[in-house]
Chains A and B, each alone.
Chain A
């Protein structure tokens, strides 16, 4: 029964709901869901409550097992889940990061207007599609050697910039400056390296995309100006992809390794996909070192794609980079585990923050926010479905106090891929998007149907909750005009 959640959750306020530890024997902290009352029926129906509760079993988890409003049924962790564990006596779980390690979003501004881009949207989308390898089984144009792949794992996006793919300021405007510390190439399997090598510089398939968007609404013009966004109708470019088969293999490898560790350390878990190991154990440290390699690979991947996007725009509009003004606004990861410090009961504690489909949202003044944004806060990039909106928001102090500096990451699926394919056809999706003024080019029509706007929640509802709850505040809304997909 859909309304059964009412007997279980405690309402804190209109946007905060608590699952008490009494819900499931073994929870060491309560669950806390950021959602509207209207959303809770759906969250309950698809067992996401159970997944929030299961995460609360993780040894060393602090305060709450958290869920952002784009929460949906995942495997192990819910998607939209955040969990912080004490480094001292807590665990790290590859399932709390996911298969697509450092899946993330990169946003770029331009000097172009909607009118200019609409006039050339067909050739632009075709040029982008031809210039950026995408789709299932696609191979990249980057023919990297094993040695170079090792360098990518250690250096992150800086590696691509040094090879001529992008600008030094792109690196500055990237979470962790595009390079996660602690990477160790010897902790990555040969299989992962073999999978990763040909896929470097590819967009991939599924929900990954490159979107040409226009500014549709500005909520805070001062903050928008800091990002280089001045006017309605200004054109932006959004890139959403991750670490491809390289990260997927690292996740598979370490779910196996940490599955053994669970037995070794006598950890009690309700779901094998939550496999974990103490952060300070050899298994835990090895995972974090391999995960950092995948994070760095993903940033390099997005760096290549940005470079080819700039190239494509220059060709189609016959303008120089200076005229185009394609400056990177920011790059965030939304599948990651990070060691960060938080005030827990008036004591600064080192925590491992798992963000599985959640975005870091650091406030103004935080030392990890690039200088350009330190006065306003860290930009948070929240893509929606390909028919409606995407949002740019900023991190807040409330996020630091309540969600370990985290907020939502996207719209969240509402309809399964199978249901979407049964009820929709790729060609119809493309046609209906075209009628709304959105040009789409996809490698696979089936994947287009799976990713249809109807399969997703309305991202504006999700963002409204994070805004009202105060864990991030919205600055700009964009709408798509062109999309390329795998």
Chain B
């Protein structure tokens, strides 16, 4: 399997670099990378799902808003997501479904809290496939 994402070290915070053959996959892997900072994804089951629809002013904002929306779901509903279907994605619009379950202290180790997604060092690059880089405030 090709690499989905990697963790990017930063003195105070942490980021991820995610890959995809298309942008949809890169966005999905970025979200997976986000939740891999919060918990061990292997311990998470797909017991529920949430639908997310967003509009933003450009592609970079869409990536930040997408990840922030997931942080919001975690913070308000304690949902750990492990898999994402990006149904629709263009420069300004995203429609997706995230699968996961509610965090359970007995089952999941909660690691790092993510306060929000930053624009610092944010990159969306297209080469053969897509590579997105994003830094979180931890």
Contacts and interface: CB of A to CB of B under 8 A. Distances in A.
Interface of A: 46, 72-76, 79, 95, 98-100, 135-137, 191, 194-195, 198-199, 204-206, 245, 248-249, 251-252, 255-256, 259-260, 271-273, 275, 413-419, 443-447, 450, 486
B72 A255 contact: no
A252 B67 CA distance: 11
10 contacts: A46-B11, A136-B38, A136-B112, A137-B110, A205-B112, A255-B118, A256-B65, A259-B61, A446-B112, A447-B111
A205 B61 contact: no
A255 B116 CA distance: 11
List of 4 A-B pairs having minimum Cβ-Cβ separation, nearest first: A75-B120, A272-B119, A75-B118, A416-B9
Given A136-B38, A259-B57, A205 B11 contact: no
B117 interface: yes
B7 interface: yes
Nearest to B58: A259
A199 B72 CA distance: 13
Interface string B1-22: 0000001011111100000000
Interface in B32-88: 38, 56-57, 60-61, 64-65, 68, 71-72, 74-76, 78
Nearest to A100: B115
Contact of A75 (B13, B56, B74, B111): B13
Given A248-B115, A252-B116, A417-B14, 9 more contacts: A72-B12, A99-B116, A195-B72, A205-B113, A245-B76, A272-B60, A273-B118, A446-B112, A450-B112
A248 B119 contact: no
A245 B75 contact: yes
B109 interface: yes
B23 interface: no
Contacts, number: 119
A343 to B, nearest CB: 33
Contacts of A450: 112
Given A137-B110, A204-B113, A273 B12 contact: no
Given A195-B76, A419-B9, A75 B113 contact: no
A101 B118 CA distance: 15
Residue among B9, B10, B11, B75 facing the most chain A CB atoms (10 A cut-off): B11
Interface of B: 7, 9-14, 38, 56-57, 60-61, 64-65, 68, 71-72, 74-76, 78, 103, 109-113, 115-122, 135, 137-138
Nearest to A135: B110
B110 A136 contact: yes
A169 to B, nearest CB: 32
B11 A416 contact: yes
Contacts of A259: 57, 61, 119
B82 to A, nearest CB: 16
A260 B58 CA distance: 11
Contact of A136 (B11, B72, B113, B137): B113
Contacts of B72: 191, 195, 249
Contacts of A446: 109, 111-112
A486 B112 CA distance: 10
Contact of A79 (B12, B61, B103, B111): B12
Contacts of B14: 416-418
Contacts of A256: 56, 61, 64-65
A191 B77 CA distance: 12
A158 B49 CA distance: 41
B11 A76 contact: no
B137 A99 contact: yes
Contacts of A191: 72
A381 to B, nearest CB: 20
Contacts of B138: 206, 417
Nearest to A75: B120
Residue among B13, B56, B75, B109 facing the most chain A CB atoms (10 A cut-off): B75
A72 B13 contact: no
B7 A272 contact: no
B118 A444 contact: no
Contacts of A204: 113
Contacts of A198: 76
Contacts of B71: 248
Contact of B109 (A75, A205, A413, A444): A444
Contact of B120 (A136, A251, A260, A273): A273
Nearest to A139: B78
B10 A416 contact: yes
Nearest to A197: B76
Contact of A271 (B9, B75, B119): B119
B15 to A, nearest CB: 9
Given A251-B116, A256-B61, A272-B119, A75 B137 contact: yes
